[in-house]
Amino acid sequence: MKTTGKVNGIISNIVIVKADGAVGQNEICYVYAGETKMMAEVIKVVGDDAYVQVFDSTRGLKIGDKVEFEGHMLEATLAPGMLSRNYDGLQNDLEKMEGLFIARGSITEPVDFEKLWEFKPLAKVGDKVTAGAWLGEVKEQWVAHKIMVPFIMTGNYTVKSVAEAGEYKVTDTIAVVADGDGNEYKITMVQKWPVKQAIRCYTEKPRPSRVMETGVRAIDTFNPLAEGGTGFIPGPFGAGKTVLQHAISKQAEADIIIIVACGERANEVVEIFKEFPELIDPHTGHKLMERTIIICNTSNMPVAAREASVYTGMTIGEYYRSMGLKVLVMADSTSRWAQALREMSNRLEELPGQDAFPMDLSAIISSFYARAGLVKLNNGETGSVTFLGTVSPAGGNLKEPVTESTKKAARCFYALSQGRADSKRYPAIDPLDSYSKYLEYPEVEAYLGEKIEKDWVSLVYRGKTIVQRGKEANDQINILGDDGVPVDYHERFWKSELIDFVILQQDAFDDIDANCPMERQQMMYKKVLSICERDFDFVDFDECSKFFKGLINLFRQMNYAEWKSEKFYDYDKQIDAYIANH
Amino acid sequence: MTRAFQKIYTKIDNITKATVTLRATGVGNDELATVGGRLAQVVKIMGDNVTLQVFAGTEGLATNSEVIFQGEPPKLRVSDNLAGRFFNAYGEPLEGGEPIEGEAREIGGPTVNPFRRLQPSELIATGIAGIDLNNTIVTGQKIPFFADSDQPYNAVMANVALSAKADKIILGGMGLTNDDFLYFKQVFENAGALDRIVSFVNTTENPPVERLLVPDMALTAAEYFAVDKGEKVLVLLTDMTLYADALAIVSNRMDQIPSKDSMPGSLYSDLAKIYEKAVQLPNGGSITIIAVTTLSGGDITHAIPDNTGYITEGQLFLRNDSDTGKVIIDPFRSLSRLKQLVIGKKTREDHPQVMNACVRLYADAANAKTKLENGFDLSEYDERALQFAKDYSEKLLAIDVNIDITEMLDTAWTLFGKYFTKEEVAIKAELIEKYWKA
């Protein structure tokens, strides 16, 4: 029998419930305000009192109102039919909700339970299986969606029967398995998993070794993101976090993209809703929306559900990873999630840590980032979840708790700088502050050496050194004046400007420049690097700056020209001639 | 509002500066009540103990003051007759006049389903180049002015509102001085726009906590005109810093742990709830919010502007330009995030590149200025950049400029031709060919 209870106290969205039976920490319950049924989660238990956070507005709720406990934690429903959907933080399908406004207590199904899927068996009777084993598959869009032994089924099982190829609903039994004692379990295409726990149905988690191409030069060339790796983008408002994330979500070389809009602007999500169904995935030629799932909890939606949204996104990511797919999960912004934690901790009157955030913030963030990764599945295949989060540091100060905690957890750091944004040098990824730890991985170095060219990583470091020296030279010029330093300093500065303008800066709103394939990045980078490693004997700094300004202008036109087009090669020749004429 | 079955309580247990607590039953969260005739709202219920926040403060209340619960959250009566009227924070008509008849709607209502929203795409032309050229605003956008208290933000906002051609303008005044309130009234009256204006005003003469109702009142009225009537509504909120201050007062009196700058930990969500009401609706109606956030000494790292910046779709910075002696819209720190949806699409093709080139060259001038200040010689290019900056500031950035966007673009090309070579401007070759003015 389910535990029930009555409302005994209300402080904003925290409700204190007198329960008549056992209550579990993080258990889900429903609070009834009249006819309206609102979902809530237990976050603290004191004697008979369960403190629950309601994922909705508690307006009008009264003492004595009915509460029903569900006996399980917050779960995601995992089944074919999730791709292209737009969920709220609790996996309600936004598209299925009626009316212009989201009514309180709106609950909609995350997948279509009536739809028929073309099932193909993969397992045979007698196969020994464990949780996560592939029993069959259905075609979801163009993805081979594996039907797996539910992740919650620990232990070893034997397949007793598998359904024949044919059309089935997600709730139909497609296999029967038996445990060692002969107890049989029916398996359908739908399973549930508590979102706050990691799905661990794999044999090992090797170090990432491949690079995930994003089409953004400042990332791919300078600080690459590994497939199965983690990264984060901190930046003050207006520095271009969202534009950068959108660019990556459009261009990244992944099978599945999950976008978690966590406590951000609704208009930005609308942009994805409207654009993605139109846009084409540059790697497969399919519609972008076909590989995308959006989890959307905008800033005006209930705070508690905001916290859940990142976990829902990650859980769905892990589910697709278990099918041997390359998944990219992006969350914009993890700071809003941390703020949701702060609001709740505050209402529970916990002793606060730095900036009133909960004391365990750092632990929560690092265990979340740890869920990403490349995994080797039980059947030998690999799958990956790459996670990229944005952080919105208060006042643009990178010393605040969320940035600091995330820095400990993530391996790539793409610092967006206010200075670069102010001078419209987009993407505003600071070339010197940012880093990718993956460049130091021998596996990654070997991979890039093979995929792009031998010793690619050392070429990258050479470019970084030029940028570093350019900055130092510029500092000197600013202190001593144009005439106060040798011309050599100007040359150094302008070489770093050349890398900045041609490689680091990229126009996200230009159809061609927005997405730069690796092959093109390689060619442009090597061309720029070869110029930077040449000695020019300039007479004075004026000649130097004029020369480079002209050169930068030609390179920019080249960036705007279509790859390998006549115009592209024409600029290539013009640049060679320009240098020869010097 | 008193109804026959309502129970009257006359025993208050606790009184603090802003709240009273008493024993009562059957009370709903967020419900309104009157305490000794003053409006109050339920903020906490623990068993039988109900805590009410008294908007006008508790001075003079006694333990035997009458408490009457109204059984419902704050509401506003909406109808077309709202137009042309002035109300206080509770939605009661100012300066006498008949109360509005119409449907009573809960203020601070539910969220528009993001999936039902449309992408904003209609440009709002203001005639000010600092906005239209560099930071184009579209319907359904939310954008604040970041300004110091001595800058003429209310005047600029009133100008923008009047040139924006909105069907309705809703003014939410929070902590407005009486003088400023009268100024708005007069400007709208002189423009013959009074019949399109609805105002909810809390002046400095009213209790500060009452301000907390103003944005929700204004936005409930806005939703009536935009959702029910399909109108283009422009909401002006001034000054959101004073609104946030009122939030801090309340949270402090409720013994909440303050986060950065003594602001409540929920500041981001509190502000987002207001700003996110900006929307482009499928029926053609829209709510656009232009707000004012006053800064202290230009500090945008303070919690109020900082959280605002993360919520709104850009910000407009006012700055006094010492070169020209005019108030300009700062091209470096101002930003309209939604401009990409219209520039070069609803405006001439060269708009995006011209805009960026202007700002880049203006930045070169700023560097030259730093050099000059540090006592270094200027190059010939620096000299030209400085001259360009002065002209750019006077002819385009100043808030008293009033021309259409094509004219702004032409002016920019004239300045390019006057001070720079084609290479220095670094714009796509095709555009240079088409628009360059020697």
Greatest CA span in chain B, whole angstroms? 85
- A108 lies in some domain: no
Cα A355–chain centre separation = 26
Q: Distance from B263 to chain A by nearest Cα, in Å?
A: 11
Searching chain B, which residue's CA lies closest to the CA of residue A397? B301
B5: confidence class by pLDDT, cuts 50, 70, 90: low
Do residues A393 and A471 both lie within one domain? no
Q: What is the rounded CA–CA span in Å between residue A160 and residue A186?
A: 10
Q: What are the strands, taking DSSP E only, across A250-372?
A: 256-262, 292-297, 326-332
Give, for A229, the enclosing helix (H) or strand (E).
none
Q: pLDDT band at residue B86, thresholds of 50, 70 and 90?
A: very high
Contacts with A100 from chain B: Cβ below 8 Å = 112-113, 116, 227, 281-282
Per the domain annotation, does A25 fall within a domain?
A: yes
Interface subset of A 332-391, CB within 8 angstroms of B: 333, 336, 339, 342-343, 346, 349, 352, 355-356
Asked whether residue B438 carries a pLDDT value surpassing 80, the answer given is no
Q: Which of residues 276-305 of A touch B (CB under 8 A)?
A: 296, 298-301, 303
Give the nearest partner residue to B363 out of A423, A482, A549, using CB atoms.
A423
Phi/psi for B204 (5° steps) reads -65, -15
List, for residues B219-245, the tens digit of each pLDDT value: 999 999 999 999 999 999 999 999 999
Contact A264, B275 (CB under 8 A): no
Of the listed ranges A26-40, A171-185, A340-354, B412-426, the one predicted with least confidence: A340-354
User: Cα separation of A150 and A129, whole Å?
Assistant: 11
Higher pLDDT, B164 or A120: A120
Q: CB within 8 A of A258, min separation 6: which ones? A: A292, A293, A294, A295, A313, A316, A317, A327, A328, A329, A330
- pLDDT tens digits for B366-403? 989 988 888 888 889 999 999 999 999 999 999 988 89
What would the two tokens of residue B35 be? 């305490």
CA atoms within 13 A on the CB side of A234: 23
Residue that is written with structure tokens 């900082």 in the block:
B306
Residue A94 lies in a domain: no
Q: Using CB atoms, which residue from A10, A57, A267 is nearest to B45?
A: A10
Of A62, A267, A395, the CB nearest to B301: A395
DSSP B112: B
User: Which pair of tokens denotes residue B28?
Assistant: 């709903």
Measured in Å, how far apart are chain A's first and last C-alpha atoms?
A: 87
Q: At which residue do the structure tokens 């939703």 appear? A: B223
Rounded to an integer, the average pLDDT of A343-370 is 89
The continuous run of DSSP H or E covering A416 comes out as: none
Residues A298 and A421 in one domain: yes
CA distance B281 to B139: 10
Residues of B in contact with A99 (CB under 8 A): 113, 116
Interchain contact A550–B (C-beta under 8 A): yes
* Residue in chain A lying closest to B117 (CA): A270
Binary contact (A356, B276; C-beta < 8 A): no
Mutate to test the interface with A, among B43, B72, B111 (most CBs of A within 10 A): B111
d(CA A471, CA A483): 17
- The verdict on a CB contact (< 8 Å) between A550 and B27 is no
Interchain contact, B73 vs A552, CB within 8 Å: no
Interface size A-B, in CB pairs within 8 Å, comes to 202
Residues 6+ apart with CB under 8 A from B196: B83, B84, B166, B167, B168, B169
Q: Quote the pLDDT of residue B375.
A: 85
CATH number assigned to the domain comprising residue A566: 1.10.1140.10
Q: Are residues A433 and A308 in the same domain?
A: yes
> Rounded mean pLDDT of B186-211?
92
Kindly give the pairing relationship between strand A75-78 and strand A128-129: unpaired
The verdict on whether omega for the bond into residue A277 sits within 30 degrees of 0, i.e. cis, is no
Per DSSP, what are the bridge partners of residue A76? A193
Q: What pLDDT is recorded for position A565?
A: 96
Q: In this predicted structure, what is the pLDDT of residue B39?
A: 93
Nearest to A100 among B25, B116, B119 (CB): B116
What's the pLDDT score for residue A514? Answer: 93
Whichever domain contains A141, its CATH number is 2.40.50.100
Residue-wise pLDDT for A289-312, tens only, equals 999 999 999 988 888 889 899 999
**β-pairing, B232-238 with B286-295?**
parallel
Q: How confident is the model at residue B3 (pLDDT cuts 50, 70, 90)?
A: low
Return the residue in B21, B29, B332, B340 with the most chain A beta carbons within 10 A, the one to mutate for interface testing.
B29
Q: Which residue from A minimizes the CA distance to B107?
A: A59
pLDDT for the residue numbered B2: 47
A32, A96, A100, A553: best to mutate for the B interface, most B CBs within 10 A: A100
**pLDDT tier for residue B333 given thresholds of 50, 70 and 90:** confident
Give the burial class of A453: count Cβ atoms within 10 A of its Cβ; 0-12 exposed, 13-18 middle, 19 or more buried: exposed
Among A285, A98, A13, CA closest to B270: A13
Indicate whether A311 and A182 sit together in one domain: no
Q: Which residue of A has its CA nearest to B24?
A: A63
Structure tokens that stand for B318 in this block: 């006012």
CATH code for position A52: 2.40.10.170
Given a cut of 70, whether residue A431 has pLDDT beyond it is yes
Query: Would an 8 Å CB–CB cutoff place B356 in contact with chain A?
Result: yes
Scan residues 229-248 of A and list those with Cβ closer than 8 Å to B.
Answer: 236-238
- For chain A, give the mean pLDDT: 93
Name the domain boundary from A162, A189, A216.
A189
Q: Which of A164, A189, A214 is the last residue of a domain?
A: A189
pLDDT digits (tens, 9 = 90+) for B359-368: 989 989 998 9
List pLDDT tens digits, range A492-547.
Answer: 999 999 999 999 999 998 889 999 999 999 999 999 999 999 999 899 988 999 99
Mean pLDDT (whole number) for A160-184: 96
Both A433 and A288 in one domain: the answer is yes
Instruction: Residue B110: list chain A partners with CB under 8 A.
Output: 57, 101-104
Tell me how far apart the alpha carbons of residues B302 and B304 are, in angstroms, rounded to a whole number. Answer: 6
Mean pLDDT of A221-250: 92
As for the ipTM of the complex, it is 0.86
Q: Is residue A149 part of a domain?
A: yes
Same domain? A408 vs A505:
no
In tens, the pLDDT along B103-146 reads 999 999 898 999 999 999 899 999 899 999 999 999 999 999 99
CATH number for the domain including A316? 3.40.50.300
Q: Is the pLDDT of residue B1 over 60?
A: no
For the cut 70, the answer to whether the pLDDT of residue B4 exceeds it is: no
pLDDT tens digits for A260-295?
Answer: 999 889 998 898 888 888 888 888 888 899 999 999
Q: What are the tens digits of pLDDT across the range B268-316?
A: 889 999 999 999 999 999 999 999 999 988 888 899 999 999 899 999 9
A95/B115 CB distance under 8 A? yes
Q: What angle do the packed helices B351-373 and B380-392 form, to 10 degrees?
A: 120
Predicted confidence at residue A35, as pLDDT, reads 87
Please name the amino acid found at residue B391: D
Residues A413 and A313 reside in one and the same domain:
yes
Q: CA A365 to CA A199: how far, in whole Å?
A: 17
**Model pTM?**
0.92
Choose the closest CB to B227 out of A100, A102, A484.
A100
Domain-embedded: residue A269: yes
Q: How far A374 CA sits from the closest chain B CA (Å)?
A: 33
Q: 3-state DSSP call for residue A427?
A: coil
**Among A189, A218, A245, where does a domain finish?**
A189
- Determine, for residues B111 and A301 on separate chains, whether the beta-carbon distance falls below 8 Å: yes
Tally of structural domains, chain A: 4
Check residue B323 and give its pLDDT: 87
Half-sphere exposure of B336 (CA within 13 A, CB side): 31
- Same structural domain, A210 and A344: yes
Q: Which of A9, A273, A301 is the closest to B46 by Cβ?
A: A9
Question: Quick count: other Cβ atoms within 10 Å of Cβ B71?
Answer: 16
**Same-domain status, A236 and A344:** yes
Q: Are residues A321 and A388 in the same domain?
A: yes
Is B111 within 8 Å of A298 when comparing Cβ atoms?
yes
Do A317 and A209 share a structural domain? Answer: yes
Q: Are A241 and A330 in contact (CB under 8 A)?
A: no
Please tell me the distance in Å from A427's CA to the nearest CA on chain B.
Answer: 14
Mark whether A271 and A369 lie in a shared domain. Answer: yes
The answer to whether B226 touches B286, Cβ cutoff 8 Å, is: yes
Judge whether A105 lies within some domain: no
User: Would A127 be classed as within a structural domain?
Assistant: yes
- Using the predicted structure, report yes or no on whether residue A22 has a pLDDT greater than 90: yes
CA–CA distance, A108 with B115 (Å, rounded to integer)? 14
Judging contacts by C-beta atoms under 8 Å, the chain B residues touching residue A349 are: 257
Domain residues for A24? 4-73
- Would A81 be classed as within a structural domain? no
